[in-house]
Structures are given as C-alpha cells and as structure tokens.
Amino acid sequence: MSISTPERRRVRSRPPVFLVILGILGLAIFVIPFVGLLARVPWSDLPELLTSDIVVDALRLSLLTSIAATALAAVLGVPLAWLMARVEFPGRAIVRGIVTLPLVLPPVVGGAALLFALGRRGLVGEPLYEATGLVLPFSTWGVVIASTFVAMPFLVITVEGALRNLDQRYEGAASTLGASKWTVLRRVTLPMIGPSLLAGLVLTWARAFGEFGATITFAGNLQGRTQTMPLAVFVALESDRDTAVAISLVMVVVSLVVLIALRERWWKAL
Amino acid sequence: MAKHRIAIIAALALGIAACGGADAADSTASDPAGEVLVSAAASLTDAFADIEAAFEATHPKVDVILNLGGSSSLREQILEGAPVDVFASANASNVARVVDEGLVAGTPQVFARNLLQIAVPSGNPAGITGLEDFDREDLLIGLCAEAVPCGAFARQALENAQVTAAIDTNEPDVRALLTKIEAGELDAGITYVTDVASTGGGVDGIDVPIDVNAAAEYPIATLVDAPNPGAAAAFVAFVISDEGRSILESHGFGTP
C-alpha cells in the first residue's frame, strides 16, 4: 500500500502525452464546427431574428413534437425493452436487429418507409384512412411518429441493457414477500434502472429534437404544422442565411443546456 | 461566405479525388480529358443523364460527374467554393447571384425552357381540374419551397390565376414533390411539364393555361474556378449543340 499509493497518484496526475493530443483532437472535431457557427451569428439582429414567426413557430413545434415523441417512446419502448430483456422468444436476435435499424438507416429511408406504410395509400395507412379519415403525412402527428421512429431505439437499447445487467434477486425477494408482478415492476425494477431510463429518455428527446430526414420525407414541410427547427434551418439556409444561423444557435444552446443539466443529475443519482 | 458548407465541398472534393482517371491538366476544349463536375437543377435529372451518356460516347477521355439538386442549394455550394466546372440552373436568378460574385466565366446562355404543369396522382382521384382547385382545404396540396425555382414559378402562376393556395407542404425540390404526388400522398402539386413526362404515367399532368403559366428559362455557365475548364467548355458546347438540343426536346424541354 505505502509503495503503490504514490505510484498510482503519479499515473493519475500525468496522462500519456499521445492520449492527451489525440483526445484534444477528438474534442476539436466537436468544438470547431460550433466555433464556426458562432463566428457567423449576427448578434445585433439576433433578438429580431429569433422573434420572427418562422422561428417562434418552429421552436414551439419542435419542443411539442420532441416531448410527445419521447413520451410515446417511453410508453411503448420500456415494455418492448422489458420483453426483449426478460422473455425468451424465438427470433429475439432478429427483433434486436430491427429495433436498432433506425440508428444506422439514413433517416430519409425511414421517412420513405413510413410514407409507404402509414401514408394515405400505404399498407396500414389506407385502411386507417378509410376507417377514421385520419391522414398522418403532412400533419403534426406525422412529425411525432417520424421522430419516435428514429429516436426510440436509444430508449429501448439503454433500458434493455440496464434490465439485463440488473440483479434479479431483488425482484425475486420482493415477489417472495408477496408483491404482485406490477408492484415489483413499479417499486423495484423501474427505480433500480432509473438512471438508465433517464439517460435513455434524454438521448431519445435529443435525437427527436434534432430529427430532420424522416420528418421532411414523411411529414413534409409547412410552417406551424410540420416545420420543426431543423427543417426551418434547411429552408432558411437557401434564402435567409442569418435566420438559419440564428435557429442553429438556438438548437445548439437548447440541446446543450438540457444535456449538461441532465447529465449532472444522473451523476448525482449514481 | 466560406465555411459552413465545407462538409459538402469536402465530400465533392473527395468524390473527385477518389475517381481518378485522365488528367485534367492536359484537357482543352478541343481535346478534353479528365473529370468534369456539372451541378444541374433537379428537374434536369433525366435529360442530363442522357446528355452525359451521349457526351461521354463522343468524348471517351472525359468523365462527367452530375451533382443534381435544388438550384438554390447548388448555388450555395458554388458560392462556398465547391470545385464545380459547370452550373446549369432552373432559373436566371440563381446564376445571376453567381455572376454577381464574379464566379462565372463568360456569359450564361439559356439552353432550355420549361413550362409549369399541374401534377396529380395517376387517374386524378381528387378530380382536380385546374389551379382553381388549389384553394381547397380538403385537398392535400404540395408546392416546391419558395427558394427553389419551381416553388417561385408556381407561386407566380397561382398569383397570376388569383388563387390563394391551401398549401400542405413545401418540398425541398421538385423530385421530392413529385415522389409524394406519385405515391398518392398529395392530391396535386405544381411541377414542370418535363417532370410529369419523366414519370412515364406515374402522375397525370393538367395543363396550366399559357396566360398564367410561368416559363422557366435554364441558363448554363462555366465557372471561373473550374478545375477542368477545357472539358467544361466542351460540355456546354455539347448541351447547346443540335444533339444536346434534341435530347432536351425528347424530355419535353423547349429549346431556344
């Protein structure tokens, strides 16, 4: 102990130089684009740009749809993760693959797939339209569905991983003591995976907030109805550069604040 | 005007670097060689694919690379320094911006004309008869975004017809709009005559009367910073030649 302690301390105080250099380069890849963005921000016109109808509508819609998508992902994704972690069923490996597919697929492919499945002439969309008159594309619900499609994998993967690593003896003890399955889930399982669940929810929200490709392909682009912040940036880049930069700045700030604030909370929770 | 489109430029540059082939340094207008990067409006997709094939057949040392997209995106890429040789836009204003920045070599030339046409899903299930139907809230109506030529022309035609359209989506380019009409997800949209023709019956076209129609003029220009000016000049000459013209006409374009 008396020998190893100072040794360990020295190692900790001096990280290998090449790791530091590569690490800083790695950080630079994230930082440099944002510095470039900041350099373009028209600071004096910012208040005016950010209170324009387009920006206000887009921010409202983005917050609404990203939160709705996160809620939908929680309601559907947690049970799915539980089934994948706890129930042996044939084709579980295939299900895992399908669930992670939206992570690697170009979102525009996801959007096209959604259009062909849930559109007014789609496989599921057509009977739905004929029965209820509901049209998902070009509606705010379409944005929520597209965002859920691309973002829910983050929740499912995080929660499934946490459930699989969970020591099941606690749940066993609770049911031995007479707790119902629902009580065990609510009072033991969910609290124990709490930090992972929160992490999954935050990642899901962040992905939904930044969603572009599936949304424009499936839900279209109309101010106030389907034009979220990323779509507004895309349209403004070609017609009004200052507005595009201003919206980008808002997206960076909102995302960063949420990610940093919640990250602090997980660490405290752990 | 330099940095935030760097990713696109880098991607284009990498694409060129990766392709190799004959050396552009030995390329002249009379004996072109190497790669030539042509940024062309999305509505030229099919016509320029044929022109590329015909040009490469007569100029075997040249490899034409088509960069297709909304004219306004293409303009932004050029303004940000993309190594483009030729710019073929679907309207005059996008080229004018590039001329204003001093990036065009010589004078842009109009090589094609296009008219607007209403596109509806095959069989016209919503029973659209003309621009007058575009104010119906019960229909799903799509246009190109205002920044894209087809969107600007469509709005001009609607204004000429004194119709306030009940728009459900502003698509980023004409092909995206056409895809949604062909899938039957939109009841109607305004595209070019040539786009309707390109689907081969996938959508039906309804003529827009000539007195309200807005005719698009397509200018083509070589760029001052063209990496391969010889092949660029040869390509432009081919597009405005009789052979280029007949290819454009076979796709429904009018020619000067």
Indicate if B108 and B221 belong to the same structural domain: yes
Predicted local distance difference test score (pLDDT) of residue B21? 43
A148 to chain B, closest Cα gap in Å: 21
Q: Give a yes or no: residue B31 inside a domain.
A: yes
Predicted local distance difference test score (pLDDT) of residue A267? 52
What domain range includes position B162? 116-207
Nearest CA in chain A to B178: A217
Query: Is the pLDDT at B170 greater than 90, yes or no?
Result: yes
Query: Is the pLDDT at B5 greater than 50, yes or no?
Result: no
Residue A261 or residue B164, greater confidence? B164
B69 to chain A, closest Cα gap in Å: 12
Q: Could you tell me the maximum CA-CA distance found in chain B, to the nearest angstrom?
A: 60
Indicate if B125 and B188 belong to the same structural domain: yes
Nearest CA in chain A to B177: A220
Distance from the first to the final alpha carbon of chain B: 34
Q: Give a yes or no: residue A2 inside a domain.
A: no
Task: Return the residue in B1, B144, B170, B171 with the most chain A beta carbons within 10 A, the one to mutate for interface testing.
Answer: B170
A123 at interface of B, judged by CB pairs closer than 8 A: no
User: Within 10 A of B106 (CB to CB), how many other CB atoms are there?
Assistant: 11
B102 to chain A, closest Cα gap in Å: 19
d(CA B189, CA B212): 16
Q: How confident is the model at residue B215 (pLDDT cuts 50, 70, 90)?
A: confident
Indicate if B97 and B30 belong to the same structural domain: yes
Predicted local distance difference test score (pLDDT) of residue A168? 85
> Which residues in A lie closer than 8 A to residue B168 (C-beta atoms)?
138, 220, 222, 225
Query: Is the pLDDT at B11 greater than 80, yes or no?
Result: no
Q: How confident is the model at residue B26 (pLDDT cuts 50, 70, 90)?
A: low
Indicate if B133 and B196 belong to the same structural domain: yes
Q: Measuring CA to CA, how many Å separate B6 from each of A36, B10, B228?
A: 11, 6, 21
Q: In what order do the strands lie in the sheet with B62-69?
A: B62-69, B34-41, B86-88, B216-223, B104-114
Q: How confident is the model at residue B147 (pLDDT cuts 50, 70, 90)?
A: confident
**Among candidates B140, B172, B183 on the partner chain, residue whose Cβ is nearest the Cβ of A234:** B172
Indicate if B33 and B154 belong to the same structural domain: no
Nearest CA in chain B to A245: B4
Q: CB pairs below 8 Å between A and B: how many?
A: 67
3-state class of B189 per DSSP?
A: strand
Q: Give a yes or no: residue B241 inside a domain.
A: yes
B77 at interface of A, judged by CB pairs closer than 8 A: no
CB A240 within 8 A of CB A52: no
Cβ under 8 Å to A: B residues 176-215 = 176, 180, 183-186
Instruction: Give the distance from CA A128 to its chain's centroid.
Output: 28
- Per the document, the length of chain A is 270
* Backbone angles phi and psi of A195, in degrees to 5: -60, -40
Burial level of A76, CB count in 10 A (0-12/13-18/19+)?
middle
d(CA B152, CA B116): 11
Predicted local distance difference test score (pLDDT) of residue B23? 54
Listed residue (A232, A128, A116, A110) closest to B179, CA to CA: A116
Q: How confident is the model at residue B15 (pLDDT cuts 50, 70, 90)?
A: very low
Q: What is the CATH number of the domain that holds B13?
A: 3.40.190.10
Cβ-defined contact of B172 to A138 (cutoff 8 Å): no
What is the mean pLDDT for each group of 10 consecutive residues in chain A (270 residues)?
48 81 95 92 90 92 97 96 92 92 92 93 92 91 96 95 89 88 88 89 93 94 94 87 91 88 61
Q: Give a yes or no: residue A84 inside a domain.
A: yes
3-state class of B206 per DSSP?
A: strand
Instruction: Give residues with Cβ within 8 angstroms of A164, minimum separation 6.
Output: A85
**How crowded is the C-beta side of B51, counted as CA atoms within 13 Å?**
30
Listed residue (B76, B112, B123, B100) closest to B254, CA to CA: B112
Query: Is the pLDDT at B4 greater than 50, yes or no?
Result: no
CB B59 within 8 A of CB B190: no
d(CA A65, CA A208): 8
Indicate if B90 and B159 belong to the same structural domain: no
**Among candidates B3, B4, B185 on the partner chain, residue whose Cβ is nearest the Cβ of A137:** B185
Indicate if B91 and B141 belong to the same structural domain: no
A250 at interface of B, judged by CB pairs closer than 8 A: no
Indicate if B72 and B187 belong to the same structural domain: no
3-state class of B49 per DSSP?
A: helix
The number of domains in chain A is: 1
Q: Give a yes or no: residue A184 inside a domain.
A: yes
**Among candidates A119, A220, A239 on the partner chain, residue whose Cβ is nearest the Cβ of B142:** A220
What domain range includes position A55? 46-269
B240 to chain A, closest Cα gap in Å: 29
Residue type for position A254: V
The two three-digit tokens of residue A28, written as one number? 């630079």
Query: Is the pLDDT at B204 greater than 90, yes or no?
Result: yes
Predicted local distance difference test score (pLDDT) of residue B24? 56
B171 at interface of A, judged by CB pairs closer than 8 A: yes
B168 to chain A, closest Cα gap in Å: 6
Torsion of CA A247, A253, A256, A262, to 10 degrees: -110
B146 to chain A, closest Cα gap in Å: 9
The number of domains in chain B is: 2
Q: What are the DSSP calls for chain A, one per residue?
A: -TTHHHHHHHHHHS--HHHHHHHHHHHHHHHHHHHHHHHH--GGGHHHHHTSHHHHHHHHHHHHHHHHHHHHHHHHHHHHHHHHHH---TTHHHHHHHHHHHHHS-HHHHHHHHHHHHSTTSTTHHHHHHHH----TTSHHHHHHHHHHHHHHHHHHHHHHHHHHS-THHHHHHHHTT--HHHIIIIIIHHHTHHHHHHHHHHHHHHHHT--HHHHHHT---TTTT--HHHHHHHHHTT-HHHHHHHHHHHHHHHHHHHHHHHHHHHHH-
A121 at interface of B, judged by CB pairs closer than 8 A: yes
Indicate if B19 and B54 belong to the same structural domain: yes
> Which residues in B lie closer than 8 A to residue A40 (C-beta atoms)?
3-4
Q: What is the CATH number of the domain that holds A126?
A: 1.10.3720.10
Task: Return the residue in A40, A123, A138, A141 with the most chain B beta carbons within 10 A, the one to mutate for interface testing.
Answer: A138
Predicted local distance difference test score (pLDDT) of residue A195? 87
Query: Is the pLDDT at B20 greater than 60, yes or no?
Result: no
Cβ-defined contact of A239 to B147 (cutoff 8 Å): yes
Indicate if B23 and B88 belong to the same structural domain: yes
Q: How confident is the model at residue B53 (pLDDT cuts 50, 70, 90)?
A: very high
Share of chain B above pLDDT 90, in %: 67
Give me chain B's average pLDDT, please: 87
Query: Is the pLDDT at B120 greater than 80, yes or no?
Result: yes
Q: State the complex-level ipTM.
A: 0.77
Predicted local distance difference test score (pLDDT) of residue A4? 47
A119 at interface of B, judged by CB pairs closer than 8 A: yes
Indicate if B194 and B237 belong to the same structural domain: no
